[in-house]
Structure formats: structure tokens, C-alpha cells
């Protein structure tokens, strides 16, 4: 981690010190879309409701904002395939700039 250039995909911030990150992206999804996605993945009951509640209350976004500098936390919509494509392009652009 100390060499940099790593990408972490995780659903929380509590383990990671701020010094590890130059930027943090939090992907957000509309609750109705998220519900359908999770249901299609086989989520049900408490696991489904916990994930929906987490999105409603912006738990991960707030955790990121509390754990890291406001300047490095970026919220990205992830509702449609087009959103996901734009997010990928934005992250790739950021990586290119970071490397140079």
C-alpha cells in the first residue's frame, strides 16, 4: 500500500487510514433500482433491508466523509449502465492524471 497505485473495493471505511488514499469514490444507487438489483442477486429478508437502509441513510457516504478529507470523497451515481460507463471513464481519467 505504501507504494501507491492501488484500488480498493470495499463497503466501509473503518479499517483504512486516510493516508492510504488520494481519492475515494462512493457509488450511489436509487433505492428502487438497488432493491431490484439485490433481489435479483438473491438478497432477501434482513440482508436486503439492511442494504436498502444503508443506502437510504447514506451510511457509506457519511462514513467516508467522516473518515477522509472532504476534498478526496466523490459521490458518483450508479443507476444505469451509462452511469457505470461514465464512472469508469472518470476513474480512469483520474488514474491517468495521478500517474503523471
CATH code of the domain containing 29: 3.40.50.300
* Least confidently predicted of 1-5, 19-23, 41-45: 1-5
Q: Which residue has the cell 469514490?
A: 25
Predicted TM-score (pTM) of the model is 0.87
Q: Which residue has the cell 473503518?
A: 14
Q: Is residue 88 part of a domain?
A: yes
The pLDDT score that the predictor gives to residue 53 is 97
Q: How confident is the model over 22-50, as pLDDT tens digits?
A: 899 999 999 999 999 999 999 999 999 99
Q: How many domains does the chain have?
A: 1
Q: Is residue 77 part of a domain?
A: yes
Q: Is residue 80 part of a domain?
A: yes
Residue-range definition of the domain harbouring residue 55: 24-99
Amino acid at each position: 500500500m505504501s507504494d501507491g497505485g492501488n484500488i480498493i473495493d470495499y463497503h466501509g471505511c473503518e479499517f483504512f487510514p486516510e493516508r492510504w488514499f488520494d481519492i475515494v469514490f462512493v457509488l450511489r444507487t436509487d433505492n428502487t433500482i438497488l432493491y431490484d438489483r439485490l433481489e435479483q442477486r438473491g438478497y432477501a429478508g434482513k440482508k436486503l433491508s439492511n442494504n436498502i437502509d444503508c443506502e437510504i441513510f447514506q451510511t457509506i457516504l457519511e462514513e467516508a466523509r467522516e473518515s477522509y478529507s472532504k476534498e478526496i470523497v466523490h459521490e458518483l451515481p450508479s443507476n444505469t449502465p451509462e452511469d457505470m460507463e461514465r464512472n469508469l471513464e472518470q476513474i480512469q481519467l483520474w488514474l491517468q492524471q495521478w500517474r503523471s
